[in-house]
Amino acid sequence: MPGLIPWGIWAASKATAAAAGDYELITTTVLGSSTPSVTFSNLGTVAAAYKHLQVRMTVRNDAANATNYGSFRINGDTGSNYANHRLHGNGSTPSSGADSGSSTMFIGDFPAATNTASVFGAMIIDYLDFSSTTKNKTVRYFIGQPGSSSSVRLQSGLWASTAAITSISFAVQDGSNWVANSRFSLYGLRG
């Protein structure tokens, strides 16, 4: 019958087109050696087609203890423009906390040098309406850390700026390094 497309051809053509609600991989950085920070830049250009961004990380750092906090800054802003909110659980002692007027967005804990060998922590972080120039930016994230200091965290935060997000830089809090094989992936959601 003319006009019919064989199933295999139709399915293959649909497999390459992402739906409006799907996250699409923009870029991935896998570290070949220890590195103090990782930055996604030129987001106004490389992510222009997207409404929201998501970063997925599997990381470990080389601080001289079992765990160490990470952090990120938006657009290189070192002013006191960040607020953080968190729920933390380690299987026995839940905790919560918040702070405002911070000079960075905290994202911790991650496995460090004295933690179980070859264990990496995982994090998913959403940057909502990242290109908006009419509202402050909100973020939400989930962190899981296996190994000798296992824990999970649910966190949210605020960057008190109406500027569009053009770069995001990730660092280890005390100046330590992300170790080799740490992975940072940037995704976009057309929304």
- The domain spans of the chain are 21-189
Rounded to an integer, what distance in angstroms lies between the CA atom of residue 151 and that of residue 145?
5
pLDDT for the residue 19: 54
Please tell me the pTM assigned to this model. Answer: 0.84
**How confident is the model over 112-139, as a mean pLDDT?**
91
Rounded to an integer, what distance in angstroms lies between the CA atom of residue 70 and that of residue 61?
9
Rounded to an integer, what distance in angstroms lies between the CA atom of residue 117 and that of residue 121?
12
pLDDT surpasses 60 at 3: no
Rounded to an integer, what distance in angstroms lies between the CA atom of residue 92 and that of residue 43?
40
Looking at the domain that runs over 21-189, which CATH code has it been given?
A: 2.60.120
Q: What's the chain's average pLDDT? A: 85
CB 67 within 8 A of CB 106: no
